[in-house]
Amino acid sequence: MTQANLSKKRILFIHQNFPGQFPHIAAAAVKAGHKLAAIGGQTAKGQPGVDLRRWTLTRGSTAGIFDAAVRAEADLMRAQAAVEVAVRLKADGFVPDLIVGHPGWGETIQMSEVFPGVPQILFGEFFYRSHGADVNFDPEFETSTLVGDLRVNAKNLGLAMAYSGAEVIVCPTPFQASHIPTAFQHRVKIVHEGVDIGRAARRPNARVKLSGGRFLDGSKPVITFVNRTFERMRGFHIFMRALPAFMAACPDAEILMIGTDGGRGYGGPLPGGETWKQRMLAEVGKRLDLDRVHFTGALAHSDLMAALSISWAHVYYTYPFVLSWSLTEAMACECLILGSDTAPVRDAITTGQNGILNDFFDVEALTRALVTACETPEAFVSMRKAARKTALALFDRETVGVPSWMALIEEVLERKAT
């Protein structure tokens, strides 16, 4: 099929928070000449060239409903709301040749009833497991119970329905792909949506201004740690526990704690309104020189790049869960990655080649790695450069992410037309 024919196709994007993971893919589709519409929730922001329609719910979940069914009911309600919008979109003359969607909130479940025969490419972000992933990974904070395990497993009901109607399931990483059920594995493709590696690059002469007016320039050791919200799932507690011995061994080191405190995070809130920063400072704060531990809050992207540019070591720990963009940007900035030896991190880091991995729970190992990074920085120059090469090869938006997504979109469109 020629590009001229493909350019006349109609693509419907579905994402509760549109554009979500799709902004650059949608922009490329518009640029290629496709006509786009999108269905999203009230938080959807819209995008130039895309006819966005938002759905609304008329009620919340049923009070007192069977516990394991709460998520399924919510997903089906969102599916119904999205269908009602799709019906109006169809009445306005927009019948898609392809649907690209994120099934995580349920909106795609019933879409084939409105647009039968239209192929769907669905985003495979995460298929839940009661064991072997993020849940029941950290025994300090979780104890497996049958009721809890059933609830986690039941979260997959909407995803399984959605994937059963998908032509292709796109997973960003091998770890995420490995969690898709065996019955759907033949539909899985691994394509990362990509990050802007061009903007994420080590900047010479970078400086970071601290809240007191002092500047850090990387002439002395700087350790970086990034969480959107400080939380256990991203290893905040492990890092904080590694700091006292490290800071005693490296008295000139400064710590940049980049992120916010007090949000729900992926692991949920602590009881009584306590935050993870509060909990960990209560545990280890008296053993820290807090004049050298800087909680910056969320940073503008340019300031984040400056922080990563002066980093002597970047700590990235995570439960077995979705890989953070912050890791890929740190790799692109040629940081020395000190990561957790968990499956998602192994998709990006090979220990000894482009970073160092240690057991998630081994606090002393992380402390030793931090001390070594500060005492012998010259030993890790090749790892830093290898990290950026890996980021370019696996995660670059312009050369990997968008071109791979567009090739897949046009492949599916062409199959439908033949």
pLDDT of 18: 97
Tell me if 153 sits within 8 A of 200, measured CB to CB. no
pTM for the model: 0.92
pLDDT of 2: 45
Query: Which domains, and CATH codes, for the chain?
Result: 3-194+397-417 (3.40.50.2000), 208-395 (3.40.50.2000)
pLDDT of 1: 44
Pick the closest to residue 340 from 237, 203, 215, 219 (CA basis).
237
SS3 46: coil
DSSP string for 85-131: HHHHHHHTT---SEEEE-GGGSTTTTHHHHSTT--EEEE------SS
Rounded Cα–Cα distance for residues 13 and 95 (Å): 12
Token digits of residue 303: 């300031």
Given a cut of 70, the residues of the chain with pLDDT beneath it are 1-7
Rounded Cα–Cα distance for residues 292 and 154 (Å): 45
Token digits of residue 367: 């402390």
Q: pLDDT tens, 208-235?
A: 999 989 999 999 999 999 999 999 999 9
Amino acid letter, 229: T
pLDDT of 6: 52
Task: Return mean pLDDT, the chain.
Answer: 95
